[in-house]
Structure 1
Amino acid sequence: MRWFYGVTAMMVGLVLWQAIVWITGVPKFILPSPLQVAEAAYTSRALIAEHAIVTITEVIIGLLIGTVLGAVTAIQLAGSQTLQRLMLPILVFTQAVPVFALAPILTLWFGYGMASKIVMAVLIIYFPVTSAFHDGLSRVDTGLIDLARTMGATKNQIMRRIRIPHALPSLATGMRLAAVYAPIGAVIGEWVGSSEGLGYLMLLASGRVKIDLMFASLITLAIITVILHTAVGILADRLSRYAQGVTA
């Protein structure tokens, strides 16, 4: 039912978009119609696919690295009060710096290839994953922890068998956010400096006044993001069900 409403809303939006273009007669180089965008997507399907593969690769690698780093950081922070007092203010402070502003620096350091875009994706998802998982690890019922301690459980055993399983739903929430943010980071990196990827293709199309191709690239990116978010959501749901089974 959720998919039905989503598809219906999308179809209504496309019809309204097409109607606005027909009624106003707005030029193609300002706002192409959905039919013109679809035609451009079909005509340039090989070009779009070539650049989409690059962006998908950057996003998936960045998502994997960012999620692992964020999860490991959250576990380390939750396991050490000293490290938590030292690192949390630094992590919060780093969020005051717009990640987008780092794109030129990352391009300078890592070059115009995939590396700088992957790092950009990692940076943009690292804090949400760390914050969500750390929050989950910090909210575990203290009664369970105290009971485990009275039974002789070590700090590591408590972390592995109680805190992490109970915090998996929070990690799942962070992963869902990361699935949306990672494509943004990759595309921002492609805008700043790249010769491939959907972000680069959008700039190229805009510079050549091929606005229909630019819209086709943008819609392709949106579709990729929705598919990635759905896939990560399925994985996150399984994590949550696993956590419920372990902690039941």
Structure 2
Amino acid sequence: MTSSGKLMSLMVGVLTALAFLLIWEVAVRALGVAAYLLPPPSTIAADLAKNWPRVISSSWLTTGNMVLGFLLSVAVGIPLAMMLAYSPFFERSVYPSIVFLQIVPKIAIAPLFIIWFGFGMMPKVLLVFLLTFFPIVINAVVGFKSVDPGIMELARSTGASGLRTFLKIRFPSALPSIFTGLKVAAALASTAAVVAEFVASDNGLGYLIVTYNGQLMTSMVFATIIVLGLIGLAFYYLIELLERLLLPWHVFALAEQTKQA
């Protein structure tokens, strides 16, 4: 997509969002909907501005938990994916346990984390880790297994060592799939952080949502959700930017495929 096409898409997106907010504002006021049920966007913006210091301080706490849990997922998930991809025995013995952990509702595990680790940072980071871990592992395994056998045979015929083959062929070939998993995990990270704060926290954006909801401050519930969504969106696009910097050839190939389609 050309730069003018991207600008046009951005403008269309912004105008669509503004039109939606305008319709929301007019409809709520025209129908006389109570503010505690559905506040107009102007009220949400005003209340957010009034309570901004508290929201921004909570945002830093939530973002910190989100990033730490995500980084822990990367640090554990990618090496584990390598072992799953290259060891059939390890895959048969460990993979079912990983799938089981993914199936178990994470909010059901949160009370155990409170018992074991208290109300500090640890239970929240671990819950983010559990929710973001699976997509990273699965996509990394797919990437490590999808290397062209012909290329690997050629590398072995030239006498390349196992380490050199991994660094020059296997790992670079797996990076597109790895980044797919990272982007999925980044999209889940904010959800994981706020779910953890619903259950196991006395601070953060999740705690604010519960507090404001209990006080029937619906406008601040909306405002906090919007801030949380913006944080998650920024985190996702940060991973996408990193992909563009590290894998420009892959991003270009995807753009060409989209253009041809």
Q: TM-score range by the shorter chain?
A: over 0.9
Cα shift at 1:242: 6.9
What residue is the counterpart of 1:53 in the other structure?
A: 60
What is the CA distance between 1:141 and its match in structure 2?
0.4
Q: Sort the Cα spacing of 1:153 and 1:243 in 2 relative to 1 into closer, same or farther, 3 A.
A: farther
| Counterpart position of 1:176 | 183
Runs of 4 or more consecutive aligned structure 1 residues displaced over 3 Å after TM superposition: none
Unaligned runs of 5+ in 2: 1-5, 252-261
Alignment check: 8 A CA contact 1:172 1:240 kept: no
Cα offset for 1:243?
Answer: 7.0
Partner Cα separation in structure 2 for residue 173 and residue 167 of structure 1: 10
Tell me how many residue pairs correspond in the alignment. Answer: 245
Q: Could you tell me which amino acid in structure 1 is paired with residue 225 of structure 2?
A: L
The aligned runs of 1:77-156 (5 Å cut-off) are 77-156=84-163
Q: Percent identity?
A: 32
Contact 1:107 1:189 in 2 (8 A): no
Conserved in 1, the CA contact under 8 Å of 2:102 and 2:131? no
Contact 1:175 1:236 in 2 (8 A): no
What SS does the corresponding residue of 1:95 show, helix, strand or coil?
Answer: helix
Deviates more, 1:54-63 or 1:76-85: 76-85
The structure-2 alpha-carbon separation of the partners of 1:57 and 1:164, relative to structure 1 and needing over 3 Å to count, comes to same
Between 1:170-179 and 1:195-204, the stretch displaced more is 170-179
Which secondary structure does the structure 1 equivalent of 2:103 belong to? coil
TM-score, normalized by length of structure 1? 0.93
- 2:107 partner SS: helix
Root mean square deviation of aligned Cα: 1.7
Residues in 2 aligned to 1:128 and 1:74: alpha-carbon distance in whole angstroms: 11
Once the two structures are TM-superposed, the CA of residue 81 in structure 1 deviates from its matched residue by: 2.0
Q: How far apart are residue 57 of structure 1 and its match?
A: 0.7
Q: Which structure 1 residue ranges, 5 or more long, are not aligned?
A: none
Letter of the structure 2 residue corresponding to residue 165 of structure 1? P
Equivalent residue number for residue 256 of structure 2: none
Q: Deviations over 1:42-93 (max 9, x none)?
A: 0000010111110011111111111221111111222222212222222222
- The amino acid across from 1:63 in the alignment is F
Confirm or deny: 8 A CA contact 2:124 2:200 kept in the other structure: no
Q: Is residue 52–residue 197 contact of structure 1 (8 Å, CA) maintained in 2?
A: yes
Matched with 2:83 is: 76
Paired AA for residue 245 in structure 2 = R
Aligned to 1:61, the other structure's residue is in SS state helix
- Distance, in Å, in 2 between the alignment partners of 1:84 and 1:239 is 29
SS in 2 for 1:84: helix
Give CA deviations for 1:137-174 in whole Å, capped at 9, x if unaligned. 11110111111122223333322221110010111111
2:232 aligned partner? 225
Cα shift at 1:200: 0.2
Give the secondary structure class of the aligned counterpart of 2:135. Answer: helix
